[in-house]
Amino acid sequence: MTQQPITELRLCKNPDCQREYQAEIINCMGVQIIRGDGYCQECAKKIYEADVAREETARLAKIASKRREWREVKSGIPSKFMLAEFGSFDEKRNGCTGLVNAKKRCLEFAEKWPFPDKDGKPWRYEKGYPSLLLYSESSWGIGKTHLACAIAHKVLNRWDGQPMACPVKFISEYELFSRIQASYNYNLEEQKYLPGEADIIREMVSAWLLIIDDVGKRRVQDPRFVQRIYFSIIDGRYKAERPIVITANLNPDKLKTYFGGGIGEEATFDRLFEMVRGCVIHIEGESYRRRLPK
Ligand SMILES: [Zn+2]
């Protein structure tokens, strides 16, 4: 039985304090419990606050180390772009139109990115979060990859503990196709342990945010292969209402042909266009990679 607490004048346990205070003592089934564990109210409050701060520091340290692990291993951001964040993107570069707007819209995209809730359920965004298409036709090396990586970095920087899975997957088209094509040559043992085409597609569909960089940059031998892969990924994400960021070296018309084939076979692009809902960013200008140093 718990009785009413009694108060008693005591000395604070803290050797630096030792002031007299009215201690509340509770008798619980014959055991005396002193509220505040023998510390005066002020010291008890300080100890509690220090505990809370320590726990918060430990939580933030855990988050920081998880972010680092994902940034370097899971997210797929290339090592060359480990520092390619929005802050290091020079949108005022000579000869490039549209970079200021492109940066602004990509930053907005990453800043508003809705994280799934605590149970790992997708956000309930009306009709899903919009996808993003960033393209420039005439020049390569204009900064699309930097912007795409900056989106990935920003989303990782905003991750605060939920969901317990890397929230973003970055992959170049070249790497995506190479990984799938390599799987066709696996021997029997490798087939058992290494991801095949279906596993890779599943990984691309299930990523919270998928970024495919440099779409249409290289000539691909077999257009049916390209179309099959993109249909599986985009259709899968469309149904799961998960957005995709695509950077392309093709304008939307050429992208449609690249994804689609003939009349009536343009489902992939139609789905993508519906997902994008107007988030199409066009950059033109001189490639800074090819510019001679001054
Ligand atoms: Zn004290």
The structural domains of the chain, with segments of one domain joined by +, span: 1-64, 75-290
- B/e letters for 231-264, b = 16+ CB within 10 Å, e = fewer, are bbbbebbbeeebbbbbbbbbeeeebbebbbbeee
Q: What is the DSSP letter of 217?
A: -
Task: Give distance in angstroms: CA of 7 to centre of ligand 1.
Answer: 16
Residue 240, pLDDT score = 87
Q: How many residues would you count in the chain?
A: 294
Task: Give distance in angstroms: CA of 57 to centre of ligand 1.
Answer: 25
Asked if residue 78 has a cis previous peptide bond (ω within 30° of 0), the answer is no
Residue 294, pLDDT score = 43
The Cβ of residue 69 has, within 10 Å, a number of other Cβ atoms equal to 12
Task: Give distance in angstroms: CA of 4 to centre of ligand 1.
Answer: 24
Please tell me the pTM assigned to this model.
Answer: 0.83
CA-based R_g, the chain, Å: 28
- B/e letters for 73-82, b = 16+ CB within 10 Å, e = fewer, are ebbbbeeebe
Question: How far is 241 from 168, CA to CA, in rounded Å?
Answer: 15
Task: Give distance in angstroms: CA of 145 to centre of ligand 1.
Answer: 58
Task: Give distance in angstroms: CA of 42 to centre of ligand 1.
Answer: 6
Task: Give distance in angstroms: CA of 45 to centre of ligand 1.
Answer: 9
Task: Give distance in angstroms: CA of 36 to centre of ligand 1.
Answer: 10
Task: Give distance in angstroms: CA of 86 to centre of ligand 1.
Answer: 49
Task: Give distance in angstroms: CA of 16 to centre of ligand 1.
Answer: 8
Question: How far is 19 from 21, CA to CA, in rounded Å?
Answer: 6
Question: How far is 69 from 138, CA to CA, in rounded Å?
Answer: 36
Task: Give distance in angstroms: CA of 6 to centre of ligand 1.
Answer: 19
209: which strand partners? 168
Question: How far is 87 from 68, CA to CA, in rounded Å?
Answer: 18
Query: Per-residue confidence of the chain (294 residues) as pLDDT tens digits?
Result: 556 778 889 999 999 999 999 999 888 888 888 888 899 999 999 999 999 999 999 999 999 999 999 999 999 999 999 999 999 888 877 567 788 888 999 999 999 888 876 665 655 555 578 899 999 886 567 789 999 999 999 999 999 887 788 999 999 999 999 999 999 988 888 888 889 999 999 999 999 999 999 998 877 778 889 989 999 999 999 988 889 999 998 888 888 888 885 555 668 888 888 888 888 888 876 555 555 444
Question: How far is 216 from 86, CA to CA, in rounded Å?
Answer: 25
Residues 6 or more apart from 72 whose CB is under 8 A from it?
79, 82
Question: How far is 214 from 218, CA to CA, in rounded Å?
Answer: 9
Structure tokens at 270: 């139609």
| Inter-residue contact 163 to 113 (CB < 8 Å) | no
Question: How far is 155 from 245, CA to CA, in rounded Å?
Answer: 13
Task: Give distance in angstroms: CA of 58 to centre of ligand 1.
Answer: 26
CATH number of 75-290: 3.40.50.300
Question: How far is 39 from 47, CA to CA, in rounded Å?
Answer: 9
Task: Give distance in angstroms: CA of 225 to centre of ligand 1.
Answer: 73
Residue 172, pLDDT score = 95
Residue 119, pLDDT score = 64
Nearest to 275 by CA among 247, 248, 235, 231: 235
CA distances from 89 to 3, 86, 96 (A): 67, 5, 13
Task: Give distance in angstroms: CA of 24 to centre of ligand 1.
Answer: 14
